Amino acid sequence: MFNKDQISILKEAVEKENAKTQESLQKRPERKAEFTTGSGSPVKRYYTPADIEDMDYMNDLGLPGQFPYTRGVQNTMYRGKFWTMRMYAGFATAQESNQRYKYLVEQGSSGLSVAFDLPTQIGYDSDHSLSEGEVGKVGVAIDSLADMEILFDGIPLDKVSTSMTINAPASVLLAMYIAVAEKQGVPSDKLRGTIQNDILKEYIARGTYIFPTEPSMRLITDIFEFCSKDVPLWNTISISGYHIREAGSTAAQEVGFTLADGIAYVEAAIKAGLDVDTFAPRLSFFFNAHNDLLEEVSKYRAARRLWAKIMKERFGAKNPKSMALKFHTQTGGSTLTAQQPDNNIVRVAVQTLAAVLGGTQSLHTNSKDEALALPTEASVRVALRTQQIIANESGVTDVVDPLAGSYYIEAKTKEIEDQAMEYIKKIDEIGGAPKAIDMGYIQQEIMDASYDYQKKVETGEIIVVGMNKYQIEEEAPKGLLRVDPSVGEMQKANLVKLRAERDNARVDAALAALRTACEGTENVMPFILEAVRSYGTLGEICGVMREVFGEYQQSVNL
C-alpha cells in the first residue's frame, strides 16, 4: 500500500524525532514510564505508516461486506439499519417476565433476550434441594412447557426474534420454544432467534455446565443438524468471549480463546458428518466491550478478519456467510463500580461507542446499578437511551467502519490478530480447546491476567475513578430491585399441580425413549421435543441425560 522509498524516509524521520524526544524526556518526563492499553499491551507515543507497512488493503481490509470482513459484515452497516438493541431481561416468574417482554414489544422492540435463573441454567427444577434460594433470582424460572407458554403468552413468535442465554440445557429450552410456537400455529421454519449453546466457555468461565465435554459436544452438533433442517433461521450457537473477558482475560485472549472454541465446534460438526456450509452461516459470536475504546474497536476488527481466514483456509468454507463473523456485544459488567454508580453511565456510553465503531450486530447495554443488584426499570431505560443517543445523535452510524486507516487502529488490529493466532496455535498443539480446558490451560491464562489486573488496581497503577481515586463518602444506594422470595414456593406449588394433572404415562414413555436415544447415536432433539410436549419437566429431562452422560468435573487450580 505504501511506497517503499517513502517508508524508509519516514522511518529515518521517526528515528531522529525519537532521539530528540528522548532527550527532552530527561527534563520533562511523560505521565508514565510505560503506556499500556486496558489489557496491558504497550502503546507507542504515535503510529505512522511504518507501523503498518506490510498491510495489503484488499487482502487485509477489503470493502465492507466483503472478505475478510475486517470492515464489517454488511455493505451498508448502520446506514441500512441500526444494530438490534437487545436488552437482556428476565426475573422471578414467567408471568412477571412476560409483562416486561410485552411492554418491550409494544415499544417497538423486535428482539427479546431471555435471562433464566440458575436452576434452569443447570437443569434443576425449582423444587430441587440445590435450587433453594436461587429460584427466579438472576432470571426467570422455567420448569416445564407450562412456564414457557406463560412466558411467551400473547407474543407472536413469528414476529419477534428471541435470544436465550441457555447453554447446557439449550436443547430442552429450544424444544420448549418450538413447542410453544406449535401451539401458536407458527411452524419451526419461521422461528428466528439465538440460543447461546456454548458449553466450552461455561467450563472456562461462566460455570453453568452440566454434562462432560463429549456428550455436551454431541448435544451441540445434534442441535446444529436438527436446526439446519427444521429451524433454518435459528442461530444455533453464540460463541462467547464475553464471559472469558469478564473472568479477567485480555482483549487478545478474548479473541484467541473464543475463536479456539469456535474451531472446536466446527471440527465437532464436521466430524459428525455435517457439511461446513450447512451450519456455519448460523454460527454467531458474542463479545465484551471494555473501556479502552480504540483497543476494543481493533479487537472486533481482528476477530472478524481472523475468523474469515480460519473458515476459508482451515475449513474450506465456500459460502461467504460461513466466513462472516456476526456478533452480539454486551458492555463489560466487571468494569462497573459499586462506588458512585452514576459514573457507570459514562463507562457504558464509551463501551457502546466501541461496539458500534467495531461493527456489532446487536448490543445489550448494562445499567448503572449492576454492580449492586439487578437493574431497576429506570436504570434500564437510561442504558437503552445510551444506545439510542449513539445511534441517532453521534453521527458515527452514517459511515461504515470510520476508524479504518488510522495507523494506530490498523496496527492494533494486526497485533491482536497475531496474538490471538498465537493462542490458537498453542491450543492446537495441546490438542484443541476441549483438551486445553480439561488441562486448565485456558483458565490459568485468564486467572493470571485477572490477578495481574487486580494487583495493578491495588497499587494504583490502574486508576478506576471513584473506586481507587476520587473517592467520596457515600450513603448506601436505595431502591435496588428485589426479587420476591415467594417465587420459589409458587414454582414448587405449580410443579406439584403439573405432575398431578399431566398424562404421566406419556411422560414416562417419552423419558424412556429419550434415555435410549442418549445411549445410542441418534439425534436426541426429536426425543427431547416429545418429552417437552408431554410436559416432562426440565429437571426430569436433564435428569435422564445426567444419568446417561454423567456430570462434568471442574478442574480447580489457582
Partner 1 sequence: MDRPIRVLVAKPGLDGHDRGAKVIARALRDAGMEVIYTGLRQTPEQIVNAAIQEDVDCIALSILSGAHNTLLPKVASLIKAENAEDILIVGGGVIPDEDIPGLKASGISEVFTPGTPTQVTIDYIRANIKRA
Please report, as ranges, the residues that interact with partner 1 according to CB under 8 A: 118-119, 121-122, 124, 129-134, 137-138, 202, 206-208, 246-248, 334, 337-339, 371-374, 447, 450-451, 454, 458, 464, 467-468, 476-477, 480, 483, 485, 554, 556, 558
Q: How far is the CB of 218 from partner 1 (least distance, A)?
A: 22
Residues near 261 by beta carbon (within 8 Å), at least 6 away in sequence: 198, 200, 201, 204, 239, 433
Q: What is the 3-state secondary structure (H, E, C) of 333-399?
A: HHHCCCCCCCHHHHHHHHHHHHHHHCCCCEEECCCCCCCCCCCCHHHHHHHHHHHHHHHHHCCHHHC
Q: How far is the CB of 335 from partner 1 (least distance, A)?
A: 11
Q: Which helix (H) or strand (E) holds 286?
A: strand 283-289
Q: Which is nearer to partner 1, 95 or 334 (CB)?
A: 334
Q: Which is nearer to partner 1, 69 or 124 (CB)?
A: 124
Q: How far is the CB of 483 from partner 1 (least distance, A)?
A: 7
Q: Which is nearer to partner 1, 316 or 460 (CB)?
A: 460
From start to end of 382-466, where are the E strands? none
Instruction: Please count the helices (runs of H) and the strands (runs of E) in the chain.
Output: 21, 10
Q: Which is nearer to partner 1, 63 or 464 (CB)?
A: 464
For the CA atoms of the chain, what is the radius of gyration? 24
Q: How far is the CB of 450 from partner 1 (least distance, A)?
A: 6
Q: How far apart are CA 203 and CA 442, in angstroms?
A: 10
- Quick one: 29 exposed, middle or buried, by C-beta within 10 A (0-12, 13-18, 19+)? exposed
Q: Which is nearer to partner 1, 199 or 525 (CB)?
A: 199
DSSP 287-350: EEE-S-HHHHHHHHHHHHHHHHHIIIIIT---SHHHH---EEEEE-GGG--SSSTTHHHHHHHH
Q: Which helix (H) or strand (E) holds 113?
A: strand 111-114
Q: Which is nearer to partner 1, 226 or 257 (CB)?
A: 257
Report the 10 Å Cβ neighbour count for 143.
27
Q: How far is the CB of 458 from partner 1 (least distance, A)?
A: 5
Q: Which is nearer to partner 1, 89 or 411 (CB)?
A: 89
Q: Which is nearer to partner 1, 172 or 517 (CB)?
A: 172
Q: How far apart are CA 404 and CA 1, in angstroms?
A: 14
Q: How far is the CB of 102 from partner 1 (least distance, A)?
A: 24
Q: How far apart are CA 292 and CA 38, in angstroms?
A: 5
Q: How far apart are CA 343 and CA 337, in angstroms?
A: 8
Q: How far is the CB of 171 from partner 1 (least distance, A)?
A: 20
Q: Which is nearer to partner 1, 168 or 276 (CB)?
A: 168
Q: How far is the CB of 165 from partner 1 (least distance, A)?
A: 12
Q: Which is nearer to partner 1, 237 or 371 (CB)?
A: 371
Task: Say if CB 246 and CB 332 are below 8 A apart.
Answer: yes
C-alpha cell, 297? 474497536
Q: Which is nearer to partner 1, 65 or 477 (CB)?
A: 477
Q: 3-class DSSP state for residue 7? A: helix
Helices 441-459 + 251-271 axis angle, to 10: 170
Report the 10 Å Cβ neighbour count for 182.
14
Q: How far is the CB of 485 from partner 1 (least distance, A)?
A: 8
Omega of the bond prior to 68 within 30 degrees of 0, cis? yes
Q: How far apart are CA 439 and CA 416, in angstroms?
A: 25
Q: How far apart are CA 514 and CA 524, in angstroms?
A: 7
Q: Which is nearer to partner 1, 13 or 480 (CB)?
A: 480
> What are all long-range contacts of 401-404, with beta carbons under 8 Å and residues at least 24 apart?
401/64, 401/70, 401/71, 401/72, 401/77, 401/301, 401/357, 401/359, 402/357, 403/294, 403/297, 403/357, 404/61, 404/70, 404/71, 404/301
Q: How far is the CB of 292 from partner 1 (least distance, A)?
A: 19
Q: Which is nearer to partner 1, 486 or 521 (CB)?
A: 486
Q: How far is the CB of 434 from partner 1 (least distance, A)?
A: 18
Q: How far is the CB of 172 from partner 1 (least distance, A)?
A: 17
Q: How far is the CB of 64 from partner 1 (least distance, A)?
A: 36
Q: Which is nearer to partner 1, 138 or 294 (CB)?
A: 138
Report the 10 Å Cβ neighbour count for 128.
18
Q: How far is the CB of 353 from partner 1 (least distance, A)?
A: 24
- Cα torsion 92, 95, 97, 99: sign: negative
Q: How far apart are CA 430 and CA 260, in angstroms?
A: 12
